[in-house]
Amino acid sequence: MATLLRGVLVIFNAMTQNLHTQLAKRIKRVKRALHASEQSAALLLTTAPPQIRSLDSHYEYRPDSNFFYLTGSRIRNAALIISTEHEQPLLIGAKRPKAQVVWEGSEESLHQIAARCGATLIQSSEERSKILEALRGVRVLYHQGYPSRGLQIVKTLLELPAAQRRIYPTTFSHSDNLLAALRLLKDPQEITAIKEAAALTCDAYYKILPMIRPGVTEKEIAASIQHCFRAQGALPAFPPIVASGMAAATLHYDKLERNLREDDLLLVDIGAELNLYAADMTRVFPVSGVFDDLQAKLYETVLRAQKAAIKAVRPGATIAKVYQQAALMILEGLVSLKILNGKVARLMERHAERSYFPHSIGHQLGLDVHDVSIQPHNATAVSTVLKPGMVITIEPGIYFPKRIKKIKPCGIRIEDDVLVTPKGHQVLSSGFPKELAELEGLLR
């Protein structure tokens, strides 16, 4: 027993040291990025505020991704300052009041967090001057998306006497681009975390297979998926999309109000969030257990599109190029089924696929399911150039909100999580099949 305990302690100490090293590297990258600016600068990060569900009831707490990225902590009321003017980061927080502990329990010690990320801890109100000193006269980068302790600190700076503000002029800007550039490229620990989330997502698909039959409700399947995640220490990275028949033509369908029917296709878009890292997968199943001839042709069209897009994922490729490979396969399939008429090259020029494939090819994936991007609009802006360490989803689809010829209203999307490697790519979510024959075999 003593030998076993020593072994466990060695593993625990190694994991702790690995996290300490990992955080130190990330903080060093932040400081390097701050030093690249001509002006002295400081990054101000704060924990996420609780989200109100109704009156005094809150949603389940979800830490701020950026704060977690640099501290490894899920604490609920703290701030972190990384400055070009200070050797060590500053961790600002207060011990949770005893009355709050009674209701909500204790949290990780601020001392533990400070030690882990190499920060100087500021707890007492007397040391407020250290906070102001760290931020006066520099460019402060902070997240402006929601009310936070960071905004309170910024407000304090703005309310300084005019004389002090003239002596120590402070400017403010958004922190998202700086952090996005760092978080876009995943380190090995992050890639492992996404793989584990994807493996758990695959487990959920296997769990629902016996439920895919006529008469079962979308709600029942969604509940089974959530149970699978929670029973293994995870959460849904987003509300499960369980859409049968015509409901699958709604991209982010969330009503869960239909009963499965014999001739339906069932689209299941789900992802586990494990240790705050997300997976995101989509699979489509025939409720009858077998794709009919037309369903099979539509499904194979989307599968060819996804395979072509994944094949195009490599360093130096653009998101636009990856999308084009999928669009080409979609158009070829729609022309062969006589849903569209004309030459494929001309249809490509007109973006004719957009009537049936109305979304992008995918998005960045990481601590957020739609992860950060340095692009101005979204994580899959066509100019994005792929680099080793990026993790993206590849998810082409075709949708028919109303009947077209013999095609009943339906939606088909196939999605996997793909890592850009130095020589190409690696599919991180390959633990559940997508070949037509394999799916039918699982449903027998």
pLDDT tens for each residue of 244-272: 999 999 999 999 999 999 999 999 999 99
Please report the pLDDT score of residue 2 as a whole number: 55
Please report the pLDDT score of residue 137 as a whole number: 84
Please report the pLDDT score of residue 39 as a whole number: 81
Whether 305 is covered by a domain: the verdict is: yes
Please report the pLDDT score of residue 13 as a whole number: 46
CA distance 203 to 207: 6
In this structure, the answer to whether residues 210 and 118 fall within a common structural domain is no
Whether 379 is covered by a domain: the verdict is: yes
In this structure, the answer to whether residues 177 and 192 fall within a common structural domain is no
In this structure, the answer to whether residues 111 and 61 fall within a common structural domain is yes
Q: What count of residues does the chain have? A: 444
In this structure, the answer to whether residues 166 and 188 fall within a common structural domain is no
Count the domains in the chain: 2
Whether 1 is covered by a domain: the verdict is: no
Domain encompassing residue 131: 10-182
CA distance 428 to 425: 9
Q: What is the mean pLDDT of each run of 10 residues along the chain (444 residues)?
A: 46 63 97 88 92 93 96 94 93 90 94 97 75 83 74 75 74 88 96 99 99 99 99 98 99 98 98 99 99 99 99 98 98 98 98 97 97 63 87 98 96 99 99 99 98
Please report the pLDDT score of residue 155 as a whole number: 75
In this structure, the answer to whether residues 218 and 70 fall within a common structural domain is no
Whether 250 is covered by a domain: the verdict is: yes
Whether 4 is covered by a domain: the verdict is: no
In this structure, the answer to whether residues 275 and 190 fall within a common structural domain is yes
Of the residues 149, 182, 215, the one at which a domain ends: 182
In this structure, the answer to whether residues 96 and 227 fall within a common structural domain is no
In this structure, the answer to whether residues 197 and 177 fall within a common structural domain is no
Whether 29 is covered by a domain: the verdict is: yes
Please report the pLDDT score of residue 4 as a whole number: 43
Three-class HEC string of the chain: CHHHHHHHHHHHHHHHHHHHHHHHHHHHHHHHHHHCCCCCEEEEEECCCCCEEECCEECCCCCCHHHHHHHCCCCCCEEEEEECCCCCCEEEECCCCHHHHHHHCCCCCHHHHHHHHCCEEECCHHHHHHHHHHHCCCEEEECCCCCCHHHHHHHHHHCCCHHHHHHCCCEEEECHHHHHHHHCCCCHHHHHHHHHHHHHHHHHHHHHHHHCCCCCEHHHHHHHHHHHHHHCCCEECCCCEEEEHHHHHCCCCCCCCCECCCCCEEEEEECEEECCEECCEEEEEECCCCCCHHHHHHHHHHHHHHHHHHHCCCCCCEHHHHHHHHHHHHHHHHHHCCCCCCCHHHHHHCCHHHHCCCCCCCCECCCCCCCCCCCCCCCCCCCCECCCCCEEEECCEEEECCCECCECCEEEECEEEEEEECCEEEECCCCCCCCHHHHHHHHC
The answer to whether the predicted template modeling score (pTM) of the entire model surpasses 0.85 is yes
